Amino acid sequence: MTVLAKSKPEPGLWMETRPIPEIGPDDVLIRIHKTGICGTDIHIWNWDDWAQKTVPVPLVTGHEFAGIIVDKGRNVEGLEIGQRCSGEGHLIGKTSRQSRSGRFHLDPETRGIGVNEPGAFAQYLRLPAFNVVPLPDAIDDEIGAILDPLGNAVHTALSFDLIGEDVLITGAGPIGIMAAAVARHVGARHVVITDINQARLDLAARVADVVPVNVATTELKSVYAGLHMTQGFDVGMEMSGSQAALDQMVEHMVMGGRIAMLGIPPGKSPVDWSRIVFKAITIKGVYGREIFETWYKMIAMLENGLDIRRVITHRFKVAEFEQGFAAMRSGLSGKVVLDWT
């Protein structure tokens, strides 16, 4: 089969031929139709410090996918050959307290396909049947291929009650934009999204009913009057990984505000804890998706009218993968989808 692999400890990925994976009794074999390129894949392509410490070489990468089940192990029940699916890319253990109590997304033994284990940038993927998420007819392969990052957005957005609330999202990358769409879908009063990348802000305005603010040129407080806001934002979602953005978010939260934090500031960032304590702000760290509650909720929302398709800005055949990665690395794209059919 054809794969995209991290074959050498240096920047780039390489198209190669590998054997089709053999499945075990509890696995399925998925024929991949579409894959999304993730920010994590860009770290692996760039071979930055995190990738060098995390990713074994050689490794088939990729973890956002949709396809069809073409084989299944003898113990697999409830799934059928020919069934369309996506899947949870976090492979969990079975022995930890978190896993045994059903909080699978908190299992400390978690390993990721395409990061620690062979991934979905391949014509065929072996996946535990436990991780398979069947796709309803209403969700096509293109949307199925970006359910993983949508799940991150949904997990973050649903961390706190949003009905009637004023929401600030820092970081207008694809996940931030999808989180904005989710927030509006579930009943937030106003959603403001900030960035310093005008192209990403323009995309956010096309995808969701939000107020985009370029904080490089506009004071964030200047939007308050037009939105009939007085104190600040009730709920924040930090998606940028920028300490400056988090500091600005804290400044603009109401007393008792709540922040869900998906972005990861680099290194050991300085934090003025007095501002957080004296404003009685709650901060929740968000990692991945709740397995499988997030999947159920996002599929239900997509079936009920949540529209995120316009966050996909580029589509390439897998043979054009270098163009796809160039688009992602440019900082001017939304989601990039590769076609393996």
Q: Which residues are catalytic?
A: 40, 43
Q: State the Cα–Cα distance between residues 14 and 204, nearest whole angstrom.
A: 32
Q: Beta strands 132-134 and 124-128: pairing type?
A: unpaired
Q: DSSP letter string over 109-143? A: T-EEBTTTB--SSBSEEEEEGGGEEE--TTS-HHH
**Total residues found in the chain within this entry:** 341
Q: Which of 332, 324, 330, 329 is nearest to 145 (CA)?
A: 324
Q: Which of 171, 87, 194, 100 is nearest to 134 (CA)?
A: 87
Structure tokens at 50: 């995190």
Beta strand extents in 132-185 (DSSP E only): 132-134, 166-170
Q: State the Cα–Cα distance between residues 196 and 220, nearest whole angstrom.
A: 12
Q: State the Cα–Cα distance between residues 156 and 160, nearest whole angstrom.
A: 8
Going from the C-alpha of 73 to that of each of 76, 84, 282, 331, the distances in angstroms are 6, 17, 45, 41
Check if the beta carbon of residue 21 is closer than 8 Å to that of residue 118.
Answer: yes
Phi, psi at 30, each rounded to 5°: -110, 125
